[in-house]
Amino acid sequence: MDRVFQALSDKNRLKILELLKKRDMSVGEILENFSITNASLSHHLDILKRVNLIVSERKGQYIYYSLNVSVFEEIMMQISKIFNKNKK
């Protein structure tokens, strides 16, 4: 769980999630919103992918990224567990 929070603890990665909230995007499209290199962006995408916050799918030359909404419930539950007093 700490690795998920770690993945969420960077402004640029939160911004990536914000972008993907609106619509699925290719790496190039995502990149337009940042002033970092594609190598750095790939690194951030890798981190988000490793903890299952995003998923990728190739479409022709492009690789499209999207939010992995299915992991959302799990994260909410974990956080809920942390704060729910009087419960195991």
Whole-number minimum distance, CB 87 to DNA, in Å? 25
Q: Name the residue type at position 5.
A: F
Q: What is the dihedral of CA 56, 58, 59, 61, to 10 degrees?
A: 120
Whole-number minimum distance, CB 80 to DNA, in Å? 23
Q: Confirm or reject binding of residue 33 to its own copies (CB under 8 A).
A: no
Q: Confirm or reject binding of residue 36 to its own copies (CB under 8 A).
A: no
> Contacts by 70-77 with C-beta closer than 8 Å and gap 24+?
75/4
Q: Confirm or reject binding of residue 43 to DNA (CB under 7 A).
A: yes
Whole-number minimum distance, CB 31 to DNA, in Å? 7
d(CA 79, CA 81): 5
Question: How many residues in the shown chain lie near its own copies by CB under 8 A?
Answer: 25
